[in-house]
Homo-oligomer: A and B are copies of this chain.
Amino acid sequence: MNFELKQVPHRSAKPRSAGVTMAMDKGLSAREAEDFISVAGAYTDLIKLGWATSYVTGDLDRKIAVYQQAGIPFYFGGTLFEAFLIRNQLDDYKRLMEKHKVGFVEISDGSIDMEEKDKLKYIREFAQNFTVLSEVGSKDANKVLAPYQWVEKMKQELEAGAWKVITEAREGGNVGVFQSSGEVKGGLIEEILHNIPKEKILWEAPKKEQQVFFIKALGNEVNLGNISPNEVIPLETLRLGLRGDTFHLFL
């Protein structure tokens, strides 16, 4: 911290399992990645190269080197896993991850239809060599899961070896546990939390109102993801009760 303030709530130290912030990089340059790390690296636990942007991003290796030098794990978005899978190229995907020494993998079915038993098989398989983030929820706003389905999938995927489950929200924060307007589906989230330990969930929550909701509901050490790189600092102030929305929460 840059100066002393009393009564600022506790934050776990890195590497942490609670209070995780996952940022989504959708095409930063190597220099922009350096800039991002220089201001917010201390508060960023994981960096996702959003969906399949890594396929086209120029100068990718140099950016990856920036993240690796900073000691911040990065991983490829779940859509890339699905793109390799649907093309019968999963072996190529594993080789790609090995080449870049990627330790985390996202197993998702946000854009494809997959039987849950197959998803669980992939989770088990990848969990042998990678830390698995499994994602629940579709990118298609019309494919709505019932609360019991959320819970069932999350339970099974954690049992299959997922380190944490992610709730799909997209870059826009407009599907899954959110309405298309971005509003939070409170009842659904309550149902999920009644059944799944909160530290095992990473909530994609790109919008400030969503972040505020989760911090108010689950405390400042809630795991949040799909945070735009330039929103990691604002999010950290929310976690510390140093922005209007959470100013009185920890006093």
Contacts and interface: CB of A to CB of B under 8 A. Distances in A.
Given A55-B237, A60-B2, A79-B244, A31 B35 contact: yes
This chain's copy number in the assembly:
3
Interface stretch (A81-89, A146-154, A181-189): A81-89
A178 interface: no
Interface string A211-241: 0000000000000000000101110110010
Contacts of A82: 247
Interface string A4-42: 111100000000000000000011111110111011111
A86 B6 CA distance: 10
A206 interface: no
A2 B58 CA distance: 8
A244 B56 contact: no
Interface of A: 1-7, 26-32, 34-36, 38-43, 50-60, 79-80, 82-84, 86-87, 89, 92, 96, 110-112, 139-140, 170, 172, 208, 230, 232-234, 236-237, 240, 242-245, 247-248, 251
22 contacts: A1-B56, A2-B57, A3-B55, A3-B92, A26-B233, A26-B234, A27-B39, A27-B40, A27-B232, A27-B233, A29-B35, A29-B36, A29-B39, A52-B242, A53-B234, A56-B237, A56-B240, A56-B242, A79-B243, A79-B244, A86-B251, A111-B244
